[in-house]
């Protein structure tokens, strides 16, 4: 009677031990992954700020160009040409020889 009891306790111990062991391995793997990700955060943060700086610079340049174009158009961007004068009477008729 003692033998079946020992066999059942051994089986239960193996099942519980394998569950605890797999949980421990998963926790260690998670901790290792967390530490690796934690080390990459400063580099990723620097890269993100660099990209933000590049984008804001481009947006600023485009905004200044648009502002300059609007100011140029508002100030009358083309040179003003003098209005064509009305035609003056021709003296060609007076210069004709009389008949």
The stretch 12-22 carries a mean pLDDT of: 94
The fraction of the chain above a pLDDT of 90, given in percent, is 68
In this prediction, residue 27 carries a pLDDT of: 96
| Average pLDDT value for the chain | 86
In this prediction, residue 16 carries a pLDDT of: 94
pLDDT of residue 56 exceeding 70: yes
- Specify the residue for token string 């066999």: 7
Locate 26 and state its tokens.
């998963």
Secondary structure element (H or E) that encloses residue 61, with its range: helix 2-74
pLDDT of residue 81 exceeding 80: no
Residues 6+ apart with CB under 8 A from 81: none
For the stretch 3-31, what's the b/e string if a residue is b when 16 or more beta carbons lie within 10 angstroms of its beta carbon? eeeeeeeeeeeeeeeeeeeeeeeeeeeee
Locate 77 and state its tokens.
């961007």
pLDDT of residue 1 exceeding 80: no
Largest CA distance in the chain: 158
- Specify the residue for token string 């040179």: 79
- What pTM was estimated for this model as a whole? 0.47
What pLDDT band is residue 92 in, cutting at 50, 70 and 90?
A: low
């Amino acid at each position: 009677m003692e033998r079946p009891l020992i066999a059942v306790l051994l089986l239960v111990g193996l099942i519980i031990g394998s569950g605890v062991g797999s949980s421990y391995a998963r926790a260690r793997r998670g901790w290792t992954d967390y530490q690796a990700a934690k080390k990459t955060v400063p580099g990723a943060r620097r890269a993100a700020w660099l990209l933000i700086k590049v984008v804001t610079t481009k947006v600023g340049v485009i905004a200044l160009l648009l502002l300059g174009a609007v100011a140029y158009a508002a100030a009358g961007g083309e040179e003003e040409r003098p209005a064509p004068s009305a035609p003056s009477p021709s003296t060609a008729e007076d210069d004709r020889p009389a008949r």
